[in-house]
Chains A and B, each alone.
Chain A
Amino acid sequence: MNWSNILTATLSAFFGVNAMYFALSAIGLNVQFGYAGLLNFGQAGFMACGAYAVGMTAHYYGISFWWGVPIAVVYAVIFGLIMGVPTLRLRADYLAIVTIALAECVRLIVRSVTFKKYFGGSDGINQFANSFVSKTPFNPSSKYSLYPFADSVNAVGSVLLLVSFAVCSVLLGHMLAQKWAKEERQGFQTKWIISAVAVMAFLMIASKQTEYDGLSFKSLVVGWILAAVIGGFIYMLMRSPWGRVIKGIREDEDAVRSLGKNVYSYKMQALILGGVIATFSGIMFSVSRGSVQPDNYSRDVTFYVLTALVLGGLAKVSGSIVGPMLFWAILSFVDAFLNELAKSWGGHVDIFGIPLITESSHIGVYVQVVIGLMLVFLMVFRPQGLFGNKKEMALDGH
């Protein structure tokens, strides 16, 4: 058992590309589902809008894929309108059905043989992000770490990493202190300081174990900055009167309508805003790999993002960012642990004579089982998610 490998895999995943693009997608889904109560099961479709917009722009027009970003936003708005116009006046479940179907339509169209010359069929579009890859200040073939004092990080990088760790510590520390202090505000400052120091210590120790290649590292830096900025915007929006209307709609749209708000328009705004954010998730994911493949935008992705969001806690910006990090950390831990286990047991694992793992490809199946179990346990023991509010959950709807 090489525990150091397991730890590196787990902690790298905690801050990794998967967590980053899931976080962006989850922030968007949180606007739609967490705040506005819209059951969008087609988030992967919005992500595909972003991925294909940048991919096609670079590939077919020979211009920098950056032009794809505004095009991606336009695609997401159009996709949101196609979803919303027929369904948002109807009961919530219609939206769920239509979104899941439309996202699949998108995937089937882009992977179809008929449109292969536009979308590249099931192979997708490859190596379009060369302008992103080549401009990277990081060498694609060397290893990088998020640890501020690592050898691979220069002085500017150290300062930037330290500052962002500090900001995270203060914000997360504040939240943890609130949970810790519950109602009573006494000694809140002390609790805040202790929590912030604890988060900072965790970030320093954890980041030391991380290891990324140059391209992933650049995507991470860009992606997490994007997630922080968008998360901040959503935090502000949800505290504005706009957010108040959106949260009101989640609870009872007739009440909100009786107070003179155009509920249909607000629902459309939430759907499209969440979709545009998800589009950035698709952009970052495709850019980080320099390729677009249709099957990266299947239903599974939508439901994994949903799981990660629920894990973090609905209607909380922090939940939508930390949820995906934990989700991928847990998955990577299980994956790495089983791999090491199989390795140390001579390539296969059997318990009571039952061969559980005989090839490394079997491990993926167990990872899926873990996702399922994770959801079940979450619903049973902490339905409000890690950051959610239990008191809020307990209030009845009428």
Chain B
Amino acid sequence: MPLALDIARAHLLGRRRQSLVAILGVTLGVAFFIAMSAMMHGFQNYFRTQIVDSNPHIMITDEIRRPARQPLALLHPEAAVSVARVLPRDPVRGIANAGAILDALGRMRGLAAAPTLRGQLILRRAGRDYAVAALGIDPVLEARVTQLAGNLVAGSLDALTRQSNGVIIGRALAAKMGAGLGDTITGVATTGASAALRVVGLFSTGIETQDLGQVYLQLAREQALENRPLVVNEIDIRLDDITRSVAMAKEIEGRFGFKAAPWEETYSRILAVFLLQNIIMTTVTGAILVVAGFGIFNVISTVVLEKARDIAIMRSIGLSRRVIVRIFVIEGALVGSVGTMLGWLVAMAMAAGIARIPAPGATDPNETMRVAQSLDLYVVASLIAMAAAVGAAWLPARRAARTDPLAVIRGAT
């Protein structure tokens, strides 16, 4: 064993209790960092996949982020002209040329697109009214883009294709209305137009607002009810590679002019909350590691004071300042690495424990908390802990190397 390591080990063993406290500090910091991060990431990943699976990755809507340059501004390009609240000339809002856009999207690689006309509908059944959002869809394209097909618990999208008066409603809404597959419901649009709709499918997403407040019709049927023939106000896009969502959205928006929002934009608030969660978590566990650093600083400072004679004789024998620094930095590294490795074990145990806790508010009682442990977490926690340990040892180590051996030898003789 190298001399410095040998001496470092002897010093720590000579201060067993303090060393143990310092080690446990590191263990706690590392374990909490890993376990808490894993829990948070597990939850966030779960949430993210839920969002990504149940929503279009990019949504083109009939909005234009920047209105066209207005004549006044064009006339005076140098002037400071600001025209606010520019209204579109076309009173029928919708995505113009939706057909052409869909054709163009259809030729692009790595994505599938489906048109939607979103409107409002009152469903009337047994003398009661239910206000819902009505989505006119193309069942064939929709199947490629959203999870609707997968969420069906009865009936099929094919049935909607075949049945021009078909409607797919949430199972929860059906139960509330007392309607079932094959029953007829009256739908009244805001235009006053109405139609007798036949339930051809029931879906369940687990998201209450959707299960109770959203129904699907054929696109043509919805266009007729809204009296907006051939109009589409939303195009949903599913990507093969969701990491490209932001770039693709930008490209699509640049090409067609309509607002194309990637899912990150639509859910930016939740993502911001996640970020905040991560910052708070990192700060708190970081604080634990700082406290662990104090523990290490404490034990090594004590050893440095206690071992003044040993340091003096080693220097007089000819051991350099570097060797003295090395001894105490190694002590920090020893505490740090033993604490870190114990921290891994505790973290694994904590993660396993968390993964058994039932998820709060889950519909399925067997659902437990999600834990996403990754090698990255272990590596990051270890690096932070080792940096804290070595940093905390560095200060007393330098003081040890600076002390004048003669002063000690004089004092002892």
User: Are A and B a genuine interacting pair, yes or no?
Assistant: no
B residues in contact (CB < 8 Å) with A: none
